[in-house]
């Protein structure tokens, strides 16, 4: 890790993970060498369990089995070459240029909380680059142009773009900012199974809605006091319609060379209650048909 320039804080976090892995795997398999299939069968559930009890990585990244294979190339993926299940830690992003951390998500995906935690974390992201956050709800219109203008003032800085970035038009703007300010960009997405036509599952949408309806005095006024909050969430969800989860992840990785996932749902969770699924299905159907009664979802 020292040869790879891993920060002292990150070394401590990874050492804790590896110590627990050693206890786990020797307890189950002893000291005999593992086959590659057995390794993956054991590593994946261990890492998910570990992530649930202690978020891994500078931004609470859910590390997957692919990130623990031997070799520097696996820890620092080559840009433009997508692995089978692309997941990256922010530590793998180059520290020789500026960085834009952005969020292709939906309101309620915890981007503001994540930005706050990163800003308050001692040492930031583990290097000496200036770190700042630009919050869309406070900045208003022409947000991405303002991000570009701010980055031109200090291209080496790390920009936390605290605004939902839901479609290819926005992603192209971010690519342009990267080119003009010599920066890398790291998309941060909630981990979700998705559906055949949407990268986010109905369970994820239900969690996002629940979080939004618990808010009070939100900067963007998308909170429990907004009478059509449910409609706004359906509108955002529909912006992603037409891409499966794998297409969504592959597109982001091919564009930016990095992809960071944050844990969202427990792997051993109970199924989504039937009544909740029925309400979401009804709301999405009415929204797509243009017949959505705005008070329906909030009332239920």
pLDDT digits (tens, 9 = 90+) for 257-267: 889 999 998 88
Distances (CA, A) of 19 to 25, 26, 76: 10, 11, 22
Model confidence pTM above 0.95: no
Query: Does residue 282 carry a pLDDT above 80?
Result: yes
CATH of domain 99-289: 3.40.50.300
Cα gap 223→196, rounded to integer Å? 30
- pLDDT bucket at 89, cuts 50 / 70 / 90: low
Question: Which residue is listed with tokens 């618990």?
Answer: 214
Average pLDDT over residues 209-223: 88
- pLDDT bucket at 177, cuts 50 / 70 / 90: very high
Apex 162 CA angle, 79 and 86, nearest 5: 30
Question: Which of 165 and 288 is assigned the larger pLDDT?
Answer: 165
Query: Which is it for strands 131-135 and 158-164: parallel, antiparallel or unpaired?
Result: parallel
Q: Residues 221, 265: contact at Cβ < 8 Å?
A: no
The mean predicted confidence, pLDDT, of the chain is 79
Q: What is the pLDDT of residue 74?
A: 31
Query: Does residue 127 carry a pLDDT above 90?
Result: no
Beta bridge pairs of residue 185? 100
Query: Which is it for strands 158-164 and 183-190: parallel, antiparallel or unpaired?
Result: unpaired
Apex 125 CA angle, 121 and 128, nearest 5: 110
- Window from 39-53, 117-131, 149-163 with minimum mean pLDDT: 39-53
Tokens at residue 29, please? 């398999």
- pLDDT bucket at 99, cuts 50 / 70 / 90: very high
- Domain ranges for the chain, please list them: 8-57, 99-289
User: Which one of 10-24, 37-51, 115-129, 153-167 scores highest in mean pLDDT?
Assistant: 153-167
């Amino acid at each position: 890790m020292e040869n790879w320039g891993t920060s002292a804080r990150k070394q401590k976090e990874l050492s804790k993970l590896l110590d627990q892995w050693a206890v786990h795997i020797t307890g189950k398999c002893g000291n005999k060498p593992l086959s590659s299939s057995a390794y993956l069968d054991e590593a994946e559930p261990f890492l998910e369990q570990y992530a649930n009890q202690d978020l891994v990585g500078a931004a609470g990244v859910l590390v997957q089995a692919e990130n623990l294979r031997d070799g520097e190339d696996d820890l620092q993926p080559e840009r433009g070459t997508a692995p089978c299940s692309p997941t990256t830690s922010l530590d793998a992003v180059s520290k020789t240029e500026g960085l834009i951390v952005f969020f292709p998500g939906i309101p309620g995906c915890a981007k503001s909380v994540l930005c706050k935690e990163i800003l308050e974390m001692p040492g930031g992201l583990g290097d000496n680059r200036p770190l700042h956050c630009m919050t869309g709800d406070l900045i208003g219109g022409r947000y991405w142009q303002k991000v570009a203008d701010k980055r031109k003032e200090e291209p080496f800085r790390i920009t936390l773009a605290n605004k939902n970035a839901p479609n290819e038009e926005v992603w192209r703007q971010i690519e342009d900012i990267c080119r003009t300010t010599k920066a890398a960009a790291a998309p941060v997405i909630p981990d979700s199974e998705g559906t055949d036509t949407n990268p986010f599952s109905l369970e994820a949408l239900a969690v996002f809605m629940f979080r939004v309806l618990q808010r009070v005095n939100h900067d963007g006024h998308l909170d429990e006091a907004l009478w059509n909050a449910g409609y706004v969430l359906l509108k955002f969800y529909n912006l992603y319609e037409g891409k499966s989860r794998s297409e969504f992840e592959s597109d982001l990785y091919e564009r930016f060379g990095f992809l960071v996932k944050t844990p969202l749902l427990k792997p051993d969770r109970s199924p989504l209650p039937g009544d909740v699924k029925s309400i979401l299905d009804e709301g999405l159907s009415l929204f797509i048909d243009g017949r959505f009664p705005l008070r329906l979802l909030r009332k239920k």
